Amino acid sequence: MTRRAAVILAAGQGTRMKSPTPKVLHKVAGRTLLDRAIDAAQALGCDRIVVVVGAHSPQVGAHVEKRLGPGSTAIQDPPLGTGHAVLAAKDALAGFEGEVVITAGDTPLMDAAAIAPVFGLEADVAVLGFEAADPFGYGRLVIRDGKLLAIVEEKEATEAQKAITACNSGVIAADAKTLFELLAQVQPNNAKGEYYLTDVIGLANQAGKTVAAVFSPEEATMGVNSQGQLAEAEAIWQRSARVRLMENGVSMTAPETVFLSADTMIEAGVTIEPNVVFGPGVTIETGAVIRAFSHLEGCVVRKGAIIGPYARLRPGADIGEDAHIGNFVEVKKVKVGKGAKANHLSYLGDGTVGAGANIGAGTIFCNYDGFDKYETHVGAGAFIGSDTALVAPVTVGDGAMTGSGSVITRDVPADALSLERGQQVDKPGWAARFRAMKLSKRKDK
């Protein structure tokens, strides 16, 4: 197989985002636009990936090098157009022999499946196009007898060319040697005075090379240049992801209210009620039920478990088979055993809950002393009474019980009952005398 490389253009200013965060570091489904472009390049089998960044956004360069390592960025300074941006990557691709695909860092719906057809064309230069419902602002593909003759930008297009609905997605593929030879000939002879990448199409035709276009759905080519477009891309991705899950056997009673992340893994046979949010890093096994208004991130929910309503699972939560995590229960970095239950108003942070244990309402794992975190371990079959505070580090043995309202600071032996609270004192008639006194004072006023 011919080697492949990718040049991802990510040097734009992104001023229309009106955000201190660089445009390509905004997220769709919890993953940055730029990471999505890198994901697509890797899925295409590109063994060299160069991201062209602007001098104005050191954050972008740092993000790329953290993921891809040194030598993975090229700086375009000053910004003189898309052709100039690709030329900036030439040194980083020195010695590379194979095909180069050029993509954009701000097209989050452009995955490997959408790009792959450009590699299947028998042409020296291949372009990915789309049929636009409204072509205004896009470069037009001038095609005759199946041959791509030119890409004409909106500002340079004639009235006849503006009527063309076949548009440029920004994805171009060519042999590395051919690409850079053509780019060296590009001149800034246009309304913007920039070096247009799209000019390589006309130059390739003049050189007698074959140029062809292949088309993808318009939705896949959507670029993000504003917060509104970011939200639109998110909505498109979410709709598609929900459909895929339902087609694979996941039940959703109100799918439009469920929000997923790029890496959400949900098996067939799971039921998801309305208004559930899945942050990054969630896996749900078959038979589980995620009830309404729950929020999950960085967690695993095992077979048959029931979560919510109004539950929160934070990173490190591992909920065992047939376990129940109920309303207003928060779990963080706790492994909950098979069949265990925490049904009401509790915080479980750092530790373990054994199989079949019952955590009473109002239980708190007191895991933090202001400096360090400590663990709480509740044994199998243990029963934690309502309103118990377990002050870590502490272990409650298998089958043990704690009395309601207790503050447990020492380990509890297996099968023991641990109580820690003041003795109840009853004062007969005190309440009646108190009410009479209060009423008497009101009458005096």
pLDDT tens for 89-101 read 999 999 999 999 9
Q: Are residues 134 and 155 in the same domain?
A: yes
Q: Are residues 195 and 279 in the same domain?
A: no
What is the rounded CA–CA span in Å between residue 82 and residue 368?
A: 52
pLDDT at 445: 67
Q: Are residues 107 and 73 in the same domain?
A: yes
pLDDT at 42: 98
Which long-range contacts link 395-402 to residues 24+ away (Cβ below 8 Å)?
Answer: 398/354
What is the rounded CA–CA span in Å between residue 168 and residue 126?
A: 11
What is the rounded CA–CA span in Å between residue 139 and residue 126?
A: 15
* Mean pLDDT of the chain, nearest integer: 96
Q: Are residues 138 and 238 in the same domain?
A: no
Q: Indicate whether 422 pLDDT > 90.
A: no
What is the rounded CA–CA span in Å between residue 350 and residue 365?
A: 8
Residue 210 lies in a domain: yes
Q: Are residues 22 and 153 in the same domain?
A: yes
Q: Are residues 217 and 293 in the same domain?
A: no
Residue 435 lies in a domain: no
The owner of tokens 């194979």 is 98
Of residues 421 and 314, which shows the higher confidence score? 314
Q: Tens digits of per-residue pLDDT, 390-416?
A: 999 999 999 999 999 999 999 999 999
Residue 10 lies in a domain: yes
Q: Are residues 94 and 207 in the same domain?
A: yes
Q: Tens digits of per-residue pLDDT, 26-49?
A: 999 999 999 999 999 999 999 999
Nearest to 171 by CA among 323, 44, 268, 273: 44
What is the rounded CA–CA span in Å between residue 399 and residue 116?
A: 59
In the chain the first and final C-alpha atoms are separated, in Å, by 97
| Bridge partners for 366 per DSSP | 391
Q: Indicate whether 349 pLDDT > 70.
A: yes
User: What is the value of pTM for the model shown?
Assistant: 0.91
What is the rounded CA–CA span in Å between residue 332 and residue 24?
A: 31
Residue where one domain finishes, among candidates 202, 221, 240: 221
Query: Into how many domains does the chain fold?
Result: 2
Q: Indicate whether 120 pLDDT > 90.
A: no
Q: Are residues 102 and 195 in the same domain?
A: yes
**Segments forming the whole domain that contains residue 56:** 4-221
Which long-range contacts link 363-370 to residues 24+ away (Cβ below 8 Å)?
Answer: 363/387, 363/388, 363/389, 363/390, 364/388, 364/389, 364/390, 365/334, 365/390, 365/392, 366/390, 366/391, 366/392, 367/392
Residue 443 lies in a domain: no
Nearest to 283 by CA among 269, 268, 271, 298: 298
Q: Indicate whether 424 pLDDT > 90.
A: no
pLDDT at 192: 84
Residue 250 lies in a domain: yes
Mean pLDDT of all residues in 247-252: 98
Residue 431 lies in a domain: no
Q: Are residues 135 and 251 in the same domain?
A: no
Those residues whose C-beta lies under 8 Å from the C-beta of residue 445, and which sit 6 or more positions away, are none
Mean pLDDT of all residues in 72-87: 95
Residue where one domain finishes, among candidates 221, 248, 264: 221
pLDDT at 41: 98
Mean pLDDT of all residues in 329-347: 98
Q: Are residues 287 and 365 in the same domain?
A: yes
Amino acid at 421: R
Q: Are residues 366 and 290 in the same domain?
A: yes
β-pairing, 306-307 vs 324-327, is: parallel
Residue 442 lies in a domain: no
Cis peptide before 393 (omega within 30 of 0): yes
Q: Indicate whether 168 pLDDT > 70.
A: yes
Question: For residue 97, what is the domain's CATH number?
Answer: 3.90.550.10
- Which residues are annotated as catalytic? 344
Q: Are residues 245 and 364 in the same domain?
A: yes
Residue 434 lies in a domain: no
Residue where one domain finishes, among candidates 174, 197, 221: 221
Question: For residue 378, what is the domain's CATH number?
Answer: 2.160.10.10
